[in-house]
């Protein structure tokens, strides 16, 4: 059904103006002042966006929905994750496909695709995880790339599980260069992590607070430097996911300055949470265990500065949802009544629902980001980097993915009211200043007056260039 959005303040990565937007079918077909509803198709739905922002649909370029990991499975399904994403204004998700080392890439691709297709209410695409590289994997990666998955993912972490060795890394990057793919990478030095973990456990340091000391900032910076060396020698384009600290970003900047094609991502938890959360009493800190870990609070302003200066291009979430009661407790130590330690806490913080609102509240409302920067880092830059031409823009011909955002809204985040499947929120009780009131995905209203009205399976695999 055609849609007319009137009187909104349209904010893109570059523009800020008041106008009307007319969407026919899945695309934006007209933008102008005072588009007369009487001159539109008779069945046009008109929405008054006066006093509100109209943003392009937001894109989260790093999420996990189906994730077999650390002896368990992430809690969301595409039904819950896409609903949560849309409530939070995110209309496209890029999920990491994370096959086990013994799995064939094509089988993994089909599995991950089958979980999303016909279920997701928002659009989606994938980064194809490379957890082994041999002749069969290479052949299948070529086929997967030909099916429109134009980015790969490697882990320089999780020794013995998802991590690749240097030979595999080298050949993955060479293949990416040949096929024009971009390689996203989790960067740490996995050997140092493994050795630090052994030392800490031997010293009886088993609580969540020891997760950060097991993967200090230099361990992450070393991983970034390692990736950059390989990118330089292969000419591949790379994207460093979830940089958590100044030291890691600086390694990427040094490489970019010598000509390496690299992009840098930060994730919402590293902008608003710090290491002290993992030091909460009892086992509470487990809620905040992710990798790379939350850092000392002195890192947060530096990461905001890197974002505002454009050194960091994107804000993702690394949404990796595990329940507190039944899953995070796999890492509860004996002195607290469990059988685990910080190395057995499933890593990840659920946040796909909260990214846009918290970035707006802590970025735009505090003056750290302009509205245009906010749109760039939460939408447009991901669309550009990952080749999604229809996304991240408000322009004639673009997908009609739109977020009518109410800056007057005031509310708080709670696990009791969120749509993510997890039994806790890392942001319980936090205030948000603004919220999407209406959201569209390719012209279809999926959130109306803050109510979810989407059809199951409306989401589609997004074409990529």
Which is closer to ligand URP, CB of 348 or CB of 434? 348
- C-beta of residue 443 within 8 angstroms of C-beta of residue 403: no
Which is closer to ligand URP, CB of 319 or CB of 460? 319
Nearest Cα neighbor of 358 from 242, 264, 268, 265 is 268
Using the 8-state DSSP alphabet, how is residue 208 labeled? G
d(Cα 395, Cα 54) in Å, to the nearest integer?
12
Which is closer to ligand URP, CB of 57 or CB of 129? 129
List, in order, residues 6 or more apart from 303 with CB less than 8 Å away. Answer: 243, 244, 245, 246, 249, 266, 270, 271, 312
Closest approach of ligand URP to the CB of residue 63, in Å: 9
The binder of 425, among Zn ion, ligand URP, none, by C-beta within 5 to 8 A per type, is none
Helices then strands, each counted (H, E), the chain: 13, 19
The binder of 321, among ligand URP, Zn ion, none, by C-beta within 5 to 8 A per type, is none
Which is closer to ligand URP, CB of 10 or CB of 320? 320
Can residue 347 be called a binding residue for ligand URP (CB under 6 A)?
yes
User: Binding string, 22-61, against ligand URP, x = CB under 6 A?
Assistant: ----------------------------------------
User: Binding string, 290-319, against ligand URP, x = CB under 6 A?
Assistant: xx--------------------------x-
Which is closer to ligand URP, CB of 74 or CB of 432? 74
Which is closer to Zn ion, CB of 52 or CB of 186? 186
Which is closer to ligand URP, CB of 156 or CB of 439? 156
Can residue 418 be called a binding residue for ligand URP (CB under 6 A)?
no
Which is closer to ligand URP, CB of 64 or CB of 332? 64
Among 6, 64, 418, 442, the residue binding ligand URP under the rule CB under 6 A is 64
User: Binding string, 157-186, against ligand URP, x = CB under 6 A?
Assistant: -----------------------------x
Closest approach of ligand URP to the CB of residue 73, in Å: 12
- C-beta of residue 207 within 8 angstroms of C-beta of residue 173: no
Closest approach of Zn ion to the CB of residue 175, in Å: 21
Report the length, in residues, of the chain.
Answer: 465
Closest approach of Zn ion to the CB of residue 456, in Å: 25
List, in order, residues 6 or more apart from 432 with CB less than 8 Å away. Answer: 354, 357, 358, 360, 361, 409, 410, 411, 412, 413
List, in order, residues 6 or more apart from 419 with CB less than 8 Å away. Answer: 80, 83, 84, 87, 353, 452
Which is closer to Zn ion, CB of 194 or CB of 365? 194
Residues at the interface with Zn ion (CB under 5 A): 186, 318
Using DSSP's 3-state secondary structure scheme, residue 383 falls into helix
Number of residues that bind ligand URP (CB under 6 A): 8
Which is closer to ligand URP, CB of 184 or CB of 419? 184
d(Cα 229, Cα 226) in Å, to the nearest integer?
5
Its sign, for the CA torsion 107, 111, 116, 117, is positive
Where in 52-138 does DSSP place strands (E)? 53-56, 58-63, 68-69, 72-73, 90-97, 123-129
Nearest Cα neighbor of 5 from 391, 403, 375, 409 is 403
The binder of 393, among Zn ion, ligand URP, none, by C-beta within 5 to 8 A per type, is none
Closest approach of ligand URP to the CB of residue 133, in Å: 19
Paired tokens of 425: 């929120």
Closest approach of Zn ion to the CB of residue 157, in Å: 7
Q: How far apart are the first and last CA of the chain?
A: 28
Its sign, for the CA torsion 65, 67, 72, 78, is positive
Can residue 327 be called a binding residue for ligand URP (CB under 6 A)?
no
Can residue 355 be called a binding residue for ligand URP (CB under 6 A)?
no
- C-beta of residue 131 within 8 angstroms of C-beta of residue 157: no
- φ, ψ of residue 63 in degrees (nearest 5): -135, 160
Closest approach of Zn ion to the CB of residue 16, in Å: 33
User: Binding string, 265-294, against ligand URP, x = CB under 6 A?
Assistant: -------------------------xx---
Paired tokens of 352: 């796909």
The binder of 182, among ligand URP, Zn ion, none, by C-beta within 5 to 8 A per type, is none
- What does the binding site for ligand URP look like in residue numbers (CB under 6 A)? 64, 186, 290-291, 318, 320, 347-348
């Amino acid at each position: 059904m055609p849609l007319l959005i009137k009187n909104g303040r349209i904010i893109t990565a570059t523009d800020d103006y008041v106008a009307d937007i007319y969407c026919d079918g899945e695309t934006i077909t007209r933008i102008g002042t005072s588009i007369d509803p009487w001159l539109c198709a008779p069945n046009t739905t008109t929405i008054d966006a006066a006093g509100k922002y109209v943003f392009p649909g937001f894109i989260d370029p790093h999420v996990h929905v189906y994730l077999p990991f650390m002896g368990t499975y992430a809690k969301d399904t595409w039904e819950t994750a896409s609903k949560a994403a849309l409530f939070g204004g995110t209309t496209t998700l890029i999920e990491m496909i994370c096959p086990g080392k013994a799995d064939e890439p094509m089988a993994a691709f089909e599995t991950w695709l089958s979980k999303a297709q016909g279920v997701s209410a928002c659009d989606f695409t994938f980064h194809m995880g490379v957890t082994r590289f041999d002749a069969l994997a290479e052949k299948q990666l070529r086929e997967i790339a030909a099916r429109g998955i134009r980015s790969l993912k490697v882990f320089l972490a999780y020794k013995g599980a998802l991590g690749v060795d240097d030979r595999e890394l080298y050949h993955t990057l060479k293949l990416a260069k040949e096929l024009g793919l971009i390689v996203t990478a989790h960067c740490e030095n996995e050997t140092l992590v493994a050795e630090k973990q052994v030392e800490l456990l031997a010293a009886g340091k088993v609580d969540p607070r020891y997760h950060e000391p097991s993967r200090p900032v230099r361990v992450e910076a070393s991983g970034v430097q390692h990736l950059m060396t390989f990118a330089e020698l292969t000419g591949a384009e790379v994207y460093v996911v979830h940089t958590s600290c100044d030291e890691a970003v600086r390694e990427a900047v040094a490489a970019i300055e010598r000509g390496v094609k690299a992009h840098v991502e930060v994730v919402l938890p590293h902008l608003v949470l710090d290491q002290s959360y993992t030091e909460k009493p009892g086992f509470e800190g487990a809620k905040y265990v992710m990798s790379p870990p939350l850092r000392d609070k002195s890192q947060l302003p530096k990461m905001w500065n890197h974002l505002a200066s454009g050194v960091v291009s994107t804000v993702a979430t690394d949404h990796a949802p595990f329940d507190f009661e039944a899953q995070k407790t796999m890492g509860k130590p004996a002195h607290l009544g469990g059988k685990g330690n910080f190395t057995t806490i499933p890593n990840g913080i659920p946040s796909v629902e909260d990214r846009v609102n918290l970035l707006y509240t802590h970025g735009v409302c505090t003056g750290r980001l302009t509205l245009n920067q906010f749109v760039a880092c939460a939408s447009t830059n991901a669309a550009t980097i990952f080749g999604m031409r229809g996304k991240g823009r408000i322009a004639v011909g673009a997908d009609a993915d739109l977020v009518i955002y109410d800056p007057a809204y005031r509310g708080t985040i709670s696990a009791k009211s969120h749509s993510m499947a997890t039994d806790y929120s890392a942001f319980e009780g936090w205030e948000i200043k603004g919220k999407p009131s209406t959201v569209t995905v390719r012209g279809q209203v999926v959130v109306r007056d803050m109510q979810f009205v989407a059809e199951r399976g409306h989401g589609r695999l997004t074409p990529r260039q």
